[in-house]
Amino acid sequence: MVTRERRYTLDDLRRIESLPENAGKTFELIDGDLYGAPTPNAIHNFIVSQILYALMNFVFPRQLGFVLGDQTAHSLPNGDELIPDASFVSFQRQPSLPERFSITPDIAVEVISPSNRERDVTAKVESYLESGTALVWLFYPISRVVEVWRRAEDGAPKFRKLTEDALLDGEDVLPGFTLALRDVFPVEAP
């Protein structure tokens, strides 16, 4: 049996973030465990930029909500604090921009790096979904696939896998939004 040394809280997270040696670092809190967020590489940043660009071009002209990048933490109702690589929060749920988000995003986007452990990714997806996120998009740069996660009618998490030839859509969260995945993953220069 494995036992934890301790369960961290949001207060612990704030104290750790404020330490001088942690200036400029970001942390996430998942089920009482602290995780340091690694510095993303160029491929990661390229994919996040493409997603943000597409979301902003759809959301802003229609005045649907906020599109946020990877420096915005969401304190979830279950006590976790996550920093998605990109997120969308509707004006219906959050009519004004708060200093700190205390709600889960409608859509959370994570770009998965080789250093991410599968169980940690699964824990994030479960945390988002149990806290009310409608869609979680996981982008896998190496395999060039996307997993689209949501809750099934029975409440269980379910996902479907899309290849780079597919269109990602906003389903009932962002009706009419589509993104050609081949445009998200970087191509080699000719």
Which helix (H) or strand (E) is 44 found in, with range?
helix 42-62
- Residues pairing with 87 in the sheet: 68, 108
Give the model confidence (pLDDT) of 58-98 as tens digits: 999 999 999 999 889 999 999 999 999 999 999 999 999 99
- Looking at residue 168, its pLDDT comes to 97
Q: Name the residue with tokens 């869609």.
A: 135
> Domains of the chain: which residue ranges?
40-183
- What lies within 8 Å, CB to CB, of 53 at 6+ separation is none
Asked if pLDDT for residue 104 goes beyond 90, the answer is yes
Q: Tell me the CATH number of domain 40-183, given options 3.20.20.80, 3.40.50.720, 3.90.1570.10, 3.30.43.10.
A: 3.90.1570.10
Q: Which of 14-23, 80-89, 171-180 has the lowest mean pLDDT?
A: 14-23
Mean of pLDDT values over 39-60? 92
